A and B are shown apart, each in its own frame.
Chain A
Amino acid sequence: MNAASEPLPIAPSVSPTGGDAALAARLAARDAEALREVVALHAGVLHRVAFRMTGDAHEAEDIVQEALLRLWDHAPALADRHPAGSQAAAHLRLGGWLQRVVTNLAIDRLRRARRIAGGEVPEEEDAAPLADALIEAGEREGQARALVLALPERQRAAIVLTYYEDLPNAEAAAALDMNIKAFESLLHRARAALRQAFAAQGDTP
């Protein structure tokens, strides 16, 4: 499920110029315009995932940029493995590939930050003063943010991918590099933890 006023959760994985394999081939040929197309197609979704994983917009931008640059680096190998017009080309999904990279990068950064800080990533406070009209919305956002960011990294990723981005379980499992049964178990634990935290806040789940 999406938050209001956000773009569609899943960007179409077919580029206007003829499939992800063709796009990968253009990236491999160092076509900057192809990279812009990829940004236009996928960056919004990736940024939302990264932001909800880290809770930091700047960190999320860095993660998305890093994922896109990795795609730029790996494009020749991807294009070699999925030559345009072949059967393998039909299976290439750059969106899924980027989703996996972004999720892994976000988890890596969260773990690194936890190692350095010795605890959970602190919740970011919005320094800007809130207008009176936005106080209620801000409180609600703070509550949701606290709920999601309190989850362990992989459980958080499972909630972000399935609840916020409406990914099917199979695709979310692929993004986390897990088999479907293990992912479903992880998702079950994540939802239970969310409900428990929500109940602890004093609301009825």
Chain B
Amino acid sequence: MSVNENDPGAPIAKDSPLARALDGFAAPGLPAGFADRVAVAAGTRAAPLPELRRPVRSRRWRIGQRIAIGVASFGVLATAATATGLLQQLAIPVHSAETVWASITGTAKAAPAPKPAAPALAAAAEATPAAVTIDGPIDTPEELGEAFRRVDQVRAGRREERRAIIDQRIRSEIERRRAAGLPVPTPEEEARLRARIDAELARREQRADAAIAARRDTMQRKVANGEALTREDITGRPPVDPKLRETVRELRQLPPEERREAWRNLPPEERRALIDQARSRRAARANPATVPAAEPAPSPTPAE
């Protein structure tokens, strides 16, 4: 056998010893009546089963079909998640077709810089300098008027700030929906929404004004009688333990889960004191008439 020594898988040469050995494996012939036997078996064979209604497909085609179904399902789910805004809620940025096309063609417009919240508070504080200096406890009508003026100034600033935040939220939501290809409210719908918000704000202001007016009457009467207003008179609340205030401040800075855990880990007496404090504040808010004086302090951080 002329075997290529380097290749054991080379074809087997006809005159090689291996070929001679293999040629010894002779196969017998078929018996004489084989054809008759097959013919008889075919004649008595049961009819074959009918063809499957569903065509039998190859394994490759079945796998391809499953992959195609999987990809299509993923696409449908991803589209649904995008359309319902789920991806935005999960902080996954979704670019609209226009944005992507603009980035490809290089015609992307510079995104408008987000307008910062109106620094109305600081501006309002600097708008009009105080004419009257409040020295010590408030015990004259002039000092009380100055305190009212400062409170009104801060309230006006907060009102403007609140309105700016609402405007900004509406604008950013409309932008987000537009970028995601979602329907955006028509100008009429937007106007209706703003009118509803304005009405709610006006109602809130009205309630606050009524409460403030009642408290101011009480404070003016007290000052007219020559009494000095204490911090408790102005805030309408009992003085808060500085330690408790610090605890509340720390709790508020924590994320919700950690806040709950920290709350559970507080000593029972501290927890009880905080609960009592919150309850008394709630009661004071719910029934301001019973509180002797609840006007916010004329300090840099008034309560109203």
Among A16-24, A36-44, A86-94, A113-121, the one that faces the other chain is A36-44
Q: How many residues does chain A have at the interface if contact means C-beta atoms less than 8 Å apart?
A: 51
Inter-subunit contact B28/A1 (CB<8 Å): no
One of B9, B23, B24, B30 near A43 (C-beta < 8 A): B30
- B42 and A3 form a contact (CB under 8 A): no
Least Cβ–Cβ distance between A61 and chain B, in angstroms? 7
**How far apart are the CA atoms of A57 and B25 in the complex, in Å?**
12
Say yes or no for A137: interface residue by CB 8 A criterion.
yes
Question: Is there contact, CB below 8 Å, between B45 and A69?
Answer: yes
**Contacts A65-B37, A73-B45, A144-B23; A205 near B16 (Cβ below 8 A):** yes
Bound Cα distance A60, B30 (Å): 9
A47 within 8 A of B: yes
Residues of chain A contacted by B11 (CB below 8 angstroms): 191
For A137-161 the 0/1 string (1 means CB < 8 A from B) is: 1001101110110000000000000
Report how far A191 CA is from B1 CA in the complex, Å. 13
The interface residues of chain B lying within 8 Å CB-to-CB of A74 are 48
| Set of chain B residues within 8 Å of A141, measured between Cβ atoms | 24-26
Q: Shortest Cβ distance from B230 into chain A, in angstroms?
A: 97
Contact of B24 among A3, A44, A65, A163 (CB under 8 A): A3
CB distance from B162 to the nearest CB of A (A): 74
B51 touches A163 (CB 8 A): no
Pick the contact of A73: B9, B24, B37, B48 (CB < 8 A).
B48
Q: Which residue of B lies closest to A196 (CB)?
A: B8
A191 with B10: CB separation less than 8 A: yes
Query: Which residues of A pack against B, CB within 8 Å?
Result: 1-6, 32, 35-36, 39-40, 43-44, 47-48, 51-52, 57, 60-61, 64-65, 68-69, 72-74, 77, 137, 140-141, 143-145, 147-148, 163-164, 187-192, 194-196, 198, 203-205
Binding site for A on B (CB under 8 A): 1, 3, 8-12, 14, 16-31, 34-35, 37-39, 41-43, 45, 48, 51
What would 20 more interface pairs be, CB under 8 Å, given A64-B34, A140-B20?
A1-B14, A3-B24, A3-B26, A35-B39, A39-B38, A47-B27, A65-B38, A73-B48, A144-B21, A144-B24, A145-B25, A148-B22, A189-B9, A190-B9, A191-B12, A192-B8, A196-B8, A204-B17, A205-B1, A205-B17
A-B contact pairs, 20 of them (CB 8 A): A1-B12, A3-B24, A3-B25, A4-B26, A32-B42, A39-B38, A52-B25, A60-B27, A69-B42, A72-B45, A77-B51, A140-B24, A144-B24, A147-B22, A147-B25, A189-B9, A191-B12, A194-B12, A198-B17, A203-B17
